[in-house]
Structure 1
Amino acid sequence: MNPGILGLVTALSWGSSDFLARLSGRAVGPARTLVVIFAISSVLLAPFAMDAITAMRADGALSMLVAATGLCVLLGTWLLYLSLTRGPLSVAVPIVSSYPVPLVVYGVAVGGFVPAPAMWAAIGATLCGVWIVSRAGHKVQHKDGHVQGRIGVTIAICIATILTFDVAIVLTDKLAAEIGLPAALWSTRTTAFAVLAAVFLMRRQSMNIGLKWWGVLSAQGAIELMGYMALFSAQTLGGTTIASVVSSAYGVVTILLARTILKEAMSLPQLMGMALVFAGVVAVTALS
């Protein structure tokens, strides 16, 4: 399949699952949402990962890497869902979608990566767009229900999400080099599920979720995983960069759904800031 199409599938999948995360997060809470999402991911990934998992040998360093990666995935995803639940999506999504920028800075600091002037310009455009979206979000008059709590707190959560996810990405790369990508995804998501389930049991919290929301959460988990599988499938075609560039438009999908279905208010400066963020992210991803 064409890598561009796979990237489009990823964008549509992640954009839709993030929108559903806003709905499910407010209905059942981010933590309960994650329990179901990680459980579904673990089950669906198992057939692709079992050969590598059964071939693994007991290794203390590897076990610690799996645990650390799983905890970062858990924390990053919880922060993401928390930011989407608080809203507004027109502020949270563009900020979170700028996650490639710290990865480039990390490459410069640790990996000896030297960005070209065009890369620095793309990074600057992305950060400028994030600042515009953040500032404009405070000035827009949102309807009741579109925002929970102070927008400044949501912005801080978004920044924490970016940093945690980027650490998870770096650790996942290292783990995938050891045991393969499907096994790395399965082991970290299973670890995240086990930790979260243990917390629920210790705190004696119930998983009382209505039948309607079980269906929504199941769809959300399957759609999110479909995006990952589509993106990783592009690796076998040698089209990872193309797929990544196209997939970085997932935030546009989420915001369009928020505007169309939730009727979120968006000002002209916000729209300009969003366009700058997404253009910068696409450029950073392509130039990487």
Structure 2
Amino acid sequence: MTIIFGLLSAFSYGYADFVGALAAKKVRALTVTVFSFSVGLAIALIASLFVGSDFSSETLRLGVMAGICSAIAISCLYQALALGPISIVSPFTAVLSALVPVIVDVSLGQKLSAFAGLAIALILIAVVLVAFVPGSKVRLPSLRATLYSVAAGLSFSGIFLILDATAKDSGLGPLVVMRSVGVILLFCALVAVWLRNRKKPFIETEIKNLKLIGLIFLAGTGDVIGNIAFLVATRQGALAIAAVLTSLYPVGTILLARIVLKERIALSQAVGIGIALGACVLLAVG
């Protein structure tokens, strides 16, 4: 179950990033994030009515912490991607977000089989290969971009660690609290951006476009499904495996770009996807 839901989480995050990126070409990325987070919150609330949720003091505390991490992670990730280069920033963030939970999980006594250990190493390599597109002029990220990327990776790993620490019988309670806090903080950030430049509208008029609304809805749906799938994955098995599988989200983004936008897949990306599939087989065997 951990492998299935870990991969579902990765694909959901990847497809959310893909449609979110398409929407961000029309309006501010922060605007897209606020609305997509709101959609995710609504879905989490509806799902919690069927799945159940607990809002104990511990759930509220962990949910608030995860919400703060989510707002920081998204904000820093967009800043890092904007500074670029994406081909280096993206895999670095993904690997860091997975590496920290693996180290923490193993240090706390989590036992992994030889197959699982090898698979984790291969997946981390695959993430780098999938996200990296070689070119004649490879530009290294600036110090500022690197710091934003590190902050994003550590914040994402913080989300993974916090969600893993929630009680198994808390249902979707931690997720509902996390999304609520995230929406509030990101909305405050949107207000702050508008106050710095009041000549531009608070919410772009393009947001009324039905196609754009659809993309934002899909982004919000994919993001919250990724959250739920990760929550299930980590409650069913080892955090290390769930976090590493989730870090494969660039695979979903790349494949969707190939299918929808007809973008070419580089040889290194194809090799990375092949390694990722082989690693998943190792996890299943181990």
TM norm structure 2: 0.70
The gaps in structure 2 that reach 5 residues or longer are: 196-201
Q: Distance in 2 between matches of 1:281 and 1:159?
A: 26
Aligned to 2:198: none
Q: Is the 8 A contact 2:30 2:190 kept in 1?
A: no
Kindly tell me the number of residue pairs found equivalent between the two proteins: 271
Determine which of 149, 152, 156 is the counterpart of 1:161.
152
Counterparts of 1:38-57 in structure 2, within 5 Å, are 38-49=37-48, 56=55
Deviations 1:100-119 (A, max 9, x none): 4432211122x122444334
Matched, 1:152 2:141: yes
CA drift of 1:275 comes to 3.6
**Is 1:188 equivalent to 2:178 in the alignment?**
yes
CA deviation after TM superposition for structure 1 residue 262, in Å: 4.2
Question: What is the deviation of 1:73?
Answer: 1.5
Q: Distance in 2 between matches of 1:249 and 1:130?
A: 6
Change (3 A) 1:281 1:90: farther
Q: Distance in 2 between matches of 1:170 and 1:235?
A: 10
Corresponding residue number in structure 2 for 1:22: 21
Are the aligned partners of 2:37 and 2:220 in contact in 1 as well (CA < 8 Å)? Answer: yes
State the shift of 1:177 in Å.
0.7
Q: Distance in 2 between matches of 1:273 and 1:234?
A: 23
Q: 1:125: Cα distance to partner?
A: 2.8
State the one-letter code of the partner of 1:66. Answer: G
Give the deviation of 1:166 after TM superposition.
1.5
CA distance in 1, matches of 2:121, 2:246: 21
In the alignment, residue 161 of structure 1 is paired with which amino acid? A
Match of 1:113 among 110, 113, 132: 110
Question: 2:135 — aligned with what?
Answer: 140
Distance 1:6 1:118, change over 3 A: closer
**1:255 maps to what in 2?**
254
Q: How does 1:238-277 map to 2 (within 5 A)?
A: 250-262=249-261, 264=263, 266-276=265-275
Residue 73 of structure 2 aligns with which residue? 76
Structure 2 residue 162 is the aligned partner of structure 1 residue 171: yes
The equivalences for 1:52-71 within 5 A come to 56=55, 59=57, 63-71=60-68
2:150, 2:77 → 1: CA distance? 10
Question: TM-score, structure 1 length as denominator?
Answer: 0.70
Q: State the percentage of identical aligned residues.
A: 24
Aligned to 2:280: 282
Q: Using the alignment, how far apart are the partners of 2:234 and 2:116 within structure 1?
A: 23
* Amino acid in the other structure paired with 2:257: A
Give the alignment partner of residue 203 of structure 2, picking from 199, 204, 207.
Answer: 207
Alignment CA distance shift 1:159-1:255 (3 Å): farther
Mapped partners of 2:126, 2:234: distance in 1: 30
2: CA distance, partners of 1:171 / 1:141: 41
The CA RMSD measured in Å over matched residues stands at 4.4
SS in structure 2 at match of 1:27: coil
CA distance in 2 between partners of 1:182 and 1:258 (Å): 31
1:196 is displaced (CA, Å) by 1.7
Instruction: Give the letter for the 2:178 counterpart.
Output: T
Tell me by how many angstroms 1:140 deviates. 1.4
Contact 2:9 2:225 in 1 (8 A): yes
Aligned in 2, Cα 1:93/1:282: closer, same or farther, shift over 3 Å? Answer: farther
Measured in 2, the distance between the counterparts of 1:122 and 1:9 equals 17
| CA apart distance, 1:120 | 3.6
Alpha-carbon contact 1:8-1:246 (below 8 Å) kept: yes
Task: Flag the 1:158–1:286 CA change in 2: closer, same or farther, 3 A.
Answer: farther
Counterparts in 2 of 1:68 and 1:107: CA distance versus 1, 3 Å: same
